[in-house]
Structure 1
Amino acid sequence: MTDSPTNAYPAKGYATHAPDQPLEPFSFTRRGLRHDDVLIEISHCGICHSDLHTARNDWGGSKYPVLPGHEIVGHVRAVGDDVSDFSQGDRVAVGCMVDACLECDHCEQGLEQYCLDGGMTGTYNGTDRRDGSPTYGGYSDKIVVRKEFVLRIPDGMDMGAAAPLLCAGITTYSPLKQWKVGPGSKVAVVGLGGLGHMGVKLAAAMGADVTVLTRTEDKMADAKALGARDILLSTDREAMKAAANSFDMILNTIPVPHPVAQYMPLLKVDCAQVLVGVIGTLPEMHSGHLLGRRILTGSGIGGIAETQEMLDFCAEKNILPEIETIAMQDVNTAYDRMEKSDVRYRFVIDMETLA
């Protein structure tokens, strides 16, 4: 079987060329179809906090030009010779990864995000496993993706609103499933942003009794509208003390350094606080907080099968993110607003505006 691609596709999008530069129009070339590829015309792309961090090199390792976007939805426009699972016009999606070895122990368990052979290939700021070219994300009009990493958007699901499910959705769904959240579970969600609001919706849909942990009472109305039963003020020492040993899981979605130790006493024995926001170096924590067999752990995204399961679950339960749709030309303003938490709760770019 040859891996020689068909003719390449001219593409356009928005990229940044330096950490202190804005995103601006960028013309480039998508690879032609390999035998196992799918060409997708992008209709919408969500904006993730990771996009901003990578564009500005907050984590180091950004390879410019950076063309972000890993919450991608659209329609199939062409397929490679060996692709029979997808046809022109299909409603499809792409998340945070576009390749992995598919042969290691993790990949065979459906954990492609933890691929042992060089890690997963990121949808952007990554390197193609076959030809070494840079990967560019979904702030663009089209993308070419290996068929195994293309997902189906369930019938009837709104395409624009579905976009953030490809990161915010699966990032919160995966740990909730891993820690067996269901009817009778008591779950606390820390933070009520893009990830947190999805954590509340999903945990509630799984049957859990959900509490939002926050510093101020002004989140009460939003928390309850999203499905939470209550809020717990982390600034109220007596309330925090009274809530000790009461939660089966804490889903911590805050993406900046903060004192995670304060939440550990809230956990029951053998229960976990799961960090899903990338916060960098953890603040110092006394090991006594782990006594009582309390667990502090982290979780990335989910594998491909689990991501499809999440999409199907959201369609069944009618769960969608709360979004604000923007034009491509407004992406830099959206980044500034996102830094100020001025979005309820996720920006989505309408790619028709790219034209």
Structure 2
Amino acid sequence: MLTVNAYAAVSATAPLVPTTIQRRDLGPHDVLIEVKYAGICHSDIHHVRSEWGEVPYPLVPGHEIAGIVTEIGPAVTRHAVGDRVGVGCMVGSCGECTSCLKGEEQYCLRGNILTYGSVDRDGTITQGGYSTHVVVTEDFVVKIPQTLGLDEAAPLLCAGITTYSPLRHWGAGPGRKVAVVGLGGLGHMAVKLAHAMGAEVTVLSQSLKKIDDGLRLGADAYHATSDPDTFEKLAGTFDLIVNTVSAPLDVSAYLSLLAIDGTMVNVGAPAEPLSVNAFSLILGRRSYAGSAIGGIRETQEMLDFCGEHGLGAEIEVIPASKINDAYERVLASDVRYRFVIDTATLA
């Protein structure tokens, strides 16, 4: 067992604190990764504050992990010592159900093993990337292209794949009009990716305060949803809307912006239920859908795509001592656009 430094949540209301945790000895197919950077995702906050269900405290969050392989098990074939690698939201799945066999481990019918807060195969609780090292089976470790810095690549393991997957699935590309709701950690990557795929991209945000950023990141247009004229002006416009916000909104109003056969996809996950007027769907043969992260194969595809197009996340690197401050700033939308922890500050 390896003892490593980490930052953990000890309750739903207390600040995260420095601690030490145990990492398991390497099995035949395991990889030991020295974590260099770990992104802070809004879902980390939801989890540690028990907004999505019971939490096994103490809990080390973090599922946007970038680092270097320092040791491998004797049967590992996919990775070597010195490789630049990443770990996202999953560290295991059954590998046998129809979803897993299709490379869609995120939809494992028996339930995948999350990077933190899940029961691992050995019965222990998984602990995440706000730590100096992590041990992961090789099948759930992906390679980070040399063209991307490890710091800017870390958020791609969640924010990148969470937006890449629906854009690919619903055919974002030339001749398609895509709207991105919200320009935050997820939204800014959705804009970059949709633009690189060749789509016409529009940002829908509460205000115009980030308009310069949106256009710089690749948006063709930017509209304020606080202006009622926006919904009249853009009615029936978009082939695809990707909703990245984790707050309640008027779903039917956004569905009215879809063209016939258009789809609105939720990747943001508000704690509150959202209601839909059936006629908002029926009258335009529209679809309302959800999407999680991608499978491991698609995550690697996303990283390669980002490497080819130079698409790293827009980040602010912080020391571990600033994690609690960063949480408050995320909730206040005071980050452009992803906090990344320099895990060397945990040493």
Q: TM tier, shorter chain?
A: over 0.9
Match of 1:336 in 2: 328
Structure 1 Cα separation of the partners of residues 312 and 251 of structure 2:
28
> Which one of the candidate residues 146, 159, 165 is aligned to 2:156?
165
> Which one of the candidate residues 31, 37, 60 is aligned to 1:67?
60
Kept in 2, the 8 Å contact 1:54–1:66? The answer is no
Structure 2 Cα separation of the partners of residues 109 and 152 of structure 1:
20
Match of 2:18 in 1: 25
Q: CA offsets, 1:230-280, max 9 Å, x none?
A: 112323333322322111100000111121221101111222100000113
Match of 1:3 in 2: none
Kept in 1, the 8 Å contact 2:59–2:116? The answer is yes
> Which one of the candidate residues 203, 207, 215 is aligned to 1:224?
215
Q: Does the C-alpha gap of structure 1 residues 156 and 219 become closer, same or farther in structure 2, counting only changes over 3 Å?
A: closer
Match of 1:237 in 2: 228
Q: CA offsets, 1:110-136, max 9 Å, x none?
A: 10000012x1100001110x2110000
Report the secondary structure of 1:218's partner residue: coil
Greater CA drift, 64-73 or 54-63 = 54-63
* Structure 2 residue runs without a partner (length 5+): none
Q: How does 1:305-344 map to 2 (within 5 A)?
A: 305-344=297-336
Structure 1 Cα separation of the partners of residues 45 and 208 of structure 2:
28
> Which one of the candidate residues 40, 43, 63 is aligned to 2:36?
43
Q: CA RMSD in A?
A: 1.0
Structure 1 Cα separation of the partners of residues 233 and 249 of structure 2:
22
Structure 2 Cα separation of the partners of residues 260 and 225 of structure 1:
28
Q: Does the C-alpha gap of structure 1 residues 227 and 92 become closer, same or farther in structure 2, counting only changes over 3 Å?
A: same
Q: CA offsets, 1:289-342, max 9 Å, x none?
A: 111211111100000000000000001011111000000111011111111011
Q: CA offsets, 1:145-179, max 9 Å, x none?
A: 01100000111310101000000000000000000
> Which one of the candidate residues 235, 255, 258 is aligned to 1:267?
258
Structure 1 Cα separation of the partners of residues 38 and 169 of structure 2:
27
Greater CA drift, 150-159 or 281-290 = 281-290
Greater CA drift, 227-236 or 176-185 = 227-236
Kept in 1, the 8 Å contact 2:116–2:127? The answer is yes
> Which one of the candidate residues 219, 240, 244 is aligned to 1:253?
244
Report the secondary structure of 1:69's partner residue: coil
Report the secondary structure of 2:256's partner residue: helix
Match of 1:4 in 2: none
Kept in 1, the 8 Å contact 2:51–2:271? The answer is no
Report the residue type matching 2:151 in the other structure: G
Q: CA offsets, 1:165-212, max 9 Å, x none?
A: 000000000000000111111000000000000000000000011001
Match of 2:339 in 1: 347
Match of 1:151 in 2: 142
Report the secondary structure of 2:285's partner residue: coil
Q: How does 1:185-196 map to 2 (within 5 A)?
A: 185-196=176-187
* Structure 1 residue runs without a partner (length 5+): 1-7
Report the secondary structure of 2:79's partner residue: coil
Report the residue type matching 2:31 in the other structure: V
> Which one of the candidate residues 119, 125, 129 is aligned to 1:138?
129
Match of 2:118 in 1: 126
Kept in 1, the 8 Å contact 2:251–2:275? The answer is no
Report the secondary structure of 2:300's partner residue: helix
Structure 2 Cα separation of the partners of residues 23 and 288 of structure 1:
45
Report the secondary structure of 1:344's partner residue: coil
Match of 1:183 in 2: 174
| Misfit runs of 4+, over 6 Å | none
Confirm whether residue 91 of structure 1 aligns to residue 80 of structure 2.
no
Structure 2 Cα separation of the partners of residues 42 and 220 of structure 1:
34
Taking structure 1 as the reference length, the TM-score comes to 0.96
Greater CA drift, 29-38 or 237-246 = 237-246
Kept in 1, the 8 Å contact 2:256–2:280? The answer is yes
What percentage of aligned pairs have identical amino acids? 51
Q: CA offsets, 1:80-132, max 9 Å, x none?
A: 11102211111111000000011110001110000012x1100001110x211
* C-alpha displacement of 1:55: 1.2
Report the residue type matching 1:173 in the other structure: Y
* C-alpha displacement of 1:222: 1.4
